[in-house]
């Protein structure tokens, strides 16, 4: 046991002391928060940032003249010029597009020098469809205001029954937590598993392993390397979580202090009420910094943080241990990283398949038989179960899944060690699946 601890200490300290580890530990949370902040900014200000498009309109039907709504990125300018004549000179007049609407309102054409984007075409089609629909309803004697009221979308407030009573289900929060947890496990299993494999290959190629193996058993060396790199991953995760929380809280406080004063918000609401304009209740809440903060805190409080984080760490750790054992076996079987390709795909196929399925099926059907079985199989449970946990998992299923995962690690480590003990001392021979089976069957 002392030898394994020495190997763990060496693997852990050699990686934690690297500049790349320190830089990534502090840089990732900043980049992560910055990425989402930039996405949110672009989503809000996207229309203002887009290039203004000038569209010349030739409306021979007379139905759309003066009715097409301009936006921050689209300006409609009407003309009575002949379409065939205007085709040759609309670019010279400073227009990006020429929209021709025949008298029959059929075979409408959008002419441009460059290929128009799908969003531009969709926006113009939506604008035309809105005007044409209003005209048809008017001709049919249907009041558009009455129709709009009849077509008003019904919203549902999802509630979850618990022992304490009904509470907000926070479905979208569960979606976000489940997907993010599965994504992190998926990425980290590949990253840290690959680190173990590369470490094994480096020691094998440099012949350092021949010296180490004279003092420790191959099983001890493999376990020490796997656990050491795993502790590096856990350390990095804990630091990322702490730094992300600190940056998020600090950024939220800064935004709240620099937000519009309550007096200004009250004036805006007064003007809206005077003009007869009323926003939705949800939007009115989000207009105020404390309202937005309350909504965010309400979503966070609905998540059992300790339970979710504990499950995440357990499935990350044992999922990593299973796959890193397989990666270590692959690393011991080859002399360079290029030769690993034939073995890596079968090893990573279960998590790739589960992650792909998680985005479409498991997240929408967390209690289906397929989702339950995937959350029980050790090679797929780290991702499948983390998708299911935010939606609620029976205690017996969680306990069984954890027990199978621990058992799967012990079995996988034993099988990988039998290959590792032979492969680590093999040089110059290209391994195959047949060779790996022979190594596995060798007696001690």
pLDDT at residue number 164: 63
Helices (H), 169-304: 171-205, 208-212, 218-257, 262-274, 281-287, 289-301
| 217 and 116 fall within a common domain | no
Distances in Å between the Cα of 357 and the Cα atoms of 354, 360, 374, 388, 394 are 5, 6, 10, 13, 21
Is 323:193 a contact under the CB 8 Å cutoff?
Answer: yes
- What was the pLDDT predicted at 227? 83
Q: Is residue 15 part of a domain?
A: no
Give the single-character DSSP code of 338: G
State how far the Cα of 440 lies from the Cα of 422, in Å rounded to an integer: 8
Domain around 127: 52-146
Query: Tokens 């995937």 — which residue?
Result: 374
Q: What local confidence, expressed as pLDDT, does residue 276 receive?
A: 43
Residue 152 lies in a domain: no
Q: Is residue 2 part of a domain?
A: no
Same domain, residue pair 213 and 331: yes
**Domain boundary pick from 104, 129, 146:** 146
Q: Is 110 helix (H, G, I), strand (E, B) or coil?
A: strand
Pairing of strands 97-101, 165-168: unpaired
Same domain, 418 and 333: yes
In a domain, 25, yes or no: no
Alpha-carbon distance 292 to 8, whole Å? 46
Q: Is the pTM of this model over 0.95?
A: no
3-state secondary structure 261-287: CHHHHHHHHHHHHHCCCCCCHHHHHHH
Q: What is the pLDDT of residue 72?
A: 74
pLDDT at 48: 57
Same domain as 195, residue 69: no
Q: 92 and 221: one domain?
A: no
Helix (H, G, I), strand (E, B) or coil at 302: coil
pLDDT for position 47: 55
Tell whether 78 and 189 lie within a shared domain. no
From 146, 163, 195, give the residue that closes a domain.
146
Which residue matches tokens 């479409």? 360
- Residue closest to 324 by CA, chosen among 236, 416, 402: 416
Residues 54/77, Cβ–Cβ less than 8 Å: yes
Instruction: Give residue 396's pLDDT.
Output: 93
Closest by CA position to 358, among listed 335, 386, 323: 386
pLDDT at 138: 81
Flag whether 160 is in a domain. no
Number of domains in the chain: 2
Q: At 352, which helix (H) or strand (E)?
A: helix 341-357
Q: What is the pLDDT, as a whole number, of residue 403?
A: 95
Quick one: 419 and 350 in the same domain?
A: yes
Q: Is residue 348 part of a domain?
A: yes
Q: Does one domain contain both 188 and 63?
A: no
Q: What does each of the 444 residues of the chain score in pLDDT, given as a tens digit? A: 677 788 788 878 888 888 877 888 888 778 877 887 787 777 666 555 556 788 888 888 888 888 888 877 788 888 888 888 787 777 777 788 888 888 888 888 888 877 877 888 888 888 888 888 888 888 888 877 777 777 777 777 766 666 665 656 566 777 788 888 888 888 888 888 888 888 888 877 777 777 777 777 777 778 888 888 888 877 887 787 778 777 766 665 555 555 444 444 454 454 445 444 444 444 444 444 444 445 555 555 566 778 888 898 899 889 988 998 888 888 888 877 777 777 888 888 998 999 989 888 888 888 899 999 999 999 999 999 999 888 888 899 999 999 999 999 889 888 888 888 777 777 766 777 788 888 778 776
Say if residue 345 is in the same domain as residue 218. yes
Q: Is residue 338 part of a domain?
A: yes
The answer on 327 and 205 residing in a single domain is: yes
Same domain, 227 and 79: no
Residues 223 and 320 in one domain: yes
CATH number, residue 61 = 3.40.190.10
Residue-level pLDDT at 235: 83
Per DSSP bridges, beta strands 109-112 and 97-101 are antiparallel
Backbone angles phi, psi at 210, to 5 degrees: -65, -35
| Residue 274 lies inside a defined structural domain of this protein | no
């Amino acid at each position: 046991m002392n030898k394994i601890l020495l190997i763990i200490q060496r693997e852990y300290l050699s990686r934690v002391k690297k500049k790349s580890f320190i830089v990534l530990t502090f840089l990732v949370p900043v980049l992560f928060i910055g990425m989402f902040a930039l996405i949110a900014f672009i989503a809000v200000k996207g229309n203002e940032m887009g290039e203004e498009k000038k569209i010349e309109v030739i409306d021979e039907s007379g139905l759309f003249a003066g009715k097409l709504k301009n936006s921050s990125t689209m300006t409609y300018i009407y003309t009575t010029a002949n379409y065939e004549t205007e085709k040759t000179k609309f670019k010279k007049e400073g227009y990006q597009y020429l929209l021709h609407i025949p008298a029959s309102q059929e075979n409408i054409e959008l002419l441009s020098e460059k290929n128009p984007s799908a969003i531009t075409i969709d926006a113009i089609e939506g604008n035309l469809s809105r005007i044409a629909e209003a005209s048809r309803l008017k001709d049919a004697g249907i009041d558009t205001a009455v129709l709009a009221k009849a077509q008003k979308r019904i919203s549902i407030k999802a509630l979850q029954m618990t022992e304490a009573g009904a509470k907000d289900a926070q479905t979208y929060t569960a979606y976000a937590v489940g997907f993010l947890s599965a994504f992190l496990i998926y990425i980290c299993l590949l990253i840290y598993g690959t680190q173990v494999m590369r470490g094994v290959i480096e020691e094998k190629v440099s012949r350092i392993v021949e010296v180490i193996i004279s003092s420790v058993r191959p099983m001890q060396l493999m376990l020490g390397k796997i656990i050491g790199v795993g502790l590096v991953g856990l350390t990095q995760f804990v630091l990322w979580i702490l730094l992300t929380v600190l940056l998020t809280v600090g950024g939220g406080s800064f935004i709240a202090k620099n937000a519009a004063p309550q007096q200004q918000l009250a004036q805006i609401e007064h003007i809206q009420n005077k003009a007869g304009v009323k926003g939705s209740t949800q939007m009115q809440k989000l207009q105020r910094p404390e309202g937005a903060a309350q909504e965010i805190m309400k979503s966070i409080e609905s998540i059992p943080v300790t339970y979710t984080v504990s499950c995440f760490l357990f499935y990350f750790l044992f999922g990593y241990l299973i796959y890193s054992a397989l990666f270590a076996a692959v690393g011991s079987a080859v002399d360079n990283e290029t030769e690993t390709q034939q073995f890596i795909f079968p090893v990573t196929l279960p998590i790739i398949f589960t992650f792909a399925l998680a985005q479409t099926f498991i997240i929408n059907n967390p209690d289906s038989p397929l989702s339950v079985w995937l959350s029980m199989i050790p090679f797929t449970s780290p991702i499948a179960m983390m998708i299911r946990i935010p939606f609620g998992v029976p205690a017996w299923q969680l306990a069984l899944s954890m027990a199978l995962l621990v058992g799967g690690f012990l079995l996988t480590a034993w099988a990988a060690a039998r290959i590792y003990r032979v492969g680590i001392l093999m040089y110059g021979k290209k391994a195959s699946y047949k060779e790996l089976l022979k190594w596995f069957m060798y007696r001690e």
